[in-house]
Amino acid sequence: MIFIDACLGKKTPYTPVWMMRQAGRYLPEYMRVRAEAGDFLSLCKDYEKASEVTLQPVDILGVDAAILFSDILVVPMEMGMELKFVKGEGPVFPKPIATMEDLDRLSSDKAVKNLSYVYDTIKLTRDKLAKDKALIGFCGAPWTIATYMIEGGSTKTYNICKKMVYDNPQFLHAILRKVTNALKLYLAEQIKSGVNAVQIFDSWAGALEKSAYMEFGFSYINEIVDYLKANFPDTPIIVFPKGISGFLDDISGNFDVFGVDWSTPLANAKKSLGAKYILQGNMEPTRLYNKDAIDEGVDEILSIMGGKRHIFNLGHGILPDIPVEHAKYFIKSVQEKSAKYAK
């Protein structure tokens, strides 16, 4: 698999490419299946439909890897929290975690068992996916998941969970500990079910100052990484902490690939981390609105990376109103242009 070879630093005939949120609303085929499912969570829980939308971008766009269709918040939901997706608001936990009693009601073991529909999605998808295409599993990082559990949904200020960082750090660590324990077992089950690599998304990493992020964020990512490497040493691990361009020199761990968001200059990431890790990313997602902008972005990134130690991706998820033809153009452009660097 070209994607797995690239994760491991092996020579590849071109730079493999996939996109975060590639199974998503920009595809009419996805919207049809989602409508059939009834709502987003029902789609996540229907393993046959979830597998269908996981495979769509491979068939339609020609990406080099499929990423499991699911959501990072199914973990706290299956730990015992009520989760709703509200139109215009996104995910909402009506009863956020506020006390130790709230936390004690949640079960990591129950979550891992209850997420069987995810493992069924993986098994069916791996069975249907071409043998030369990789299947990526994923989870949210403990810090990002905890922010939703504490705030009750999306937030721009993080004031409740950030207050906890300084006002009640022991309680925050207790929440992170329970979430981390669930995520270790969850990703282990994904690997056993057939994923070829896993990615840990820390979407809200940039909400914390460096010392706080290292304590409450990255240390827990590294704990998950170390657990997986001890048990599945051959499975590549990608970490994607968004918005930490100022912390790059402090990043270290036993993972294989570091995902670079679009706001981080790729040359800076290469200088700080390129010798230690394969880099993934980091084209600005809105470049996909214009084909000239796509060409310019692809050329710039390839010139920085030289077609080596790199996996091509957007610097965050593809947006819902991107034309499908532009997404196809982007994938083909990367594959064709990067092949010239591989010679």
- How far is CA 341 from each of CA 213, 303, 307, 334, rounded to the nearest angstrom? 37, 9, 5, 11
148 is in an annotated binding site: yes
Phi and psi for 6 in degrees, rounded to 5? -65, -40
Instruction: State yes or no: 24 annotated in a binding site.
Output: yes
Query: Is residue 32 a known part of a binding site?
Result: no
The dihedral region occupied by 153, where left means phi > 0, alpha psi between -120 and 50, and beta the remainder, is: left
25 is catalytic: yes
Active-site residue, 71 included: yes
What are the tokens at 152? 């009750």
For the stretch 4-39, what's the b/e string if a residue is b when 16 or more beta carbons lie within 10 angstroms of its beta carbon? bebbeeeebebbbbbbbbbbbebbeebeebbeebee
- Tell me whether residue 70 is annotated as binding: no
Known catalytic residue: 148? Answer: yes
Task: Kindly write down the DSSP assignment for every residue of 184-204, as one continuous string.
Answer: HHHHHHHHHHT-SEEEEEETT
Annotated binding-site residue? 186: no
Residue 226 phi, psi (nearest 5): -65, -40
**71 annotated to a ligand binding site:** yes
32 is catalytic: no
Choice among 26, 30, 34, 287 that is catalytic? 34
* Residue in this structure with the two tokens 């995810």, named with its chain if needed: 118
Which one of 5, 25, 177, 226 is the catalytic residue? 25
| Annotated active-site residue in 14, 119, 148, 277 | 148
Would the annotation count 335 as a binding residue? no
Is residue 96 classed exposed, middle or buried when 0-12, 13-18 and 19+ CB atoms within 10 A define those classes?
Answer: middle
Annotated binding-site members for substrate: 21-25, 71, 148, 203, 316
Indicate which residues carry an active-site annotation: 21, 25, 34, 71, 148
Annotated binding-site members: 21-25, 71, 148, 203, 316
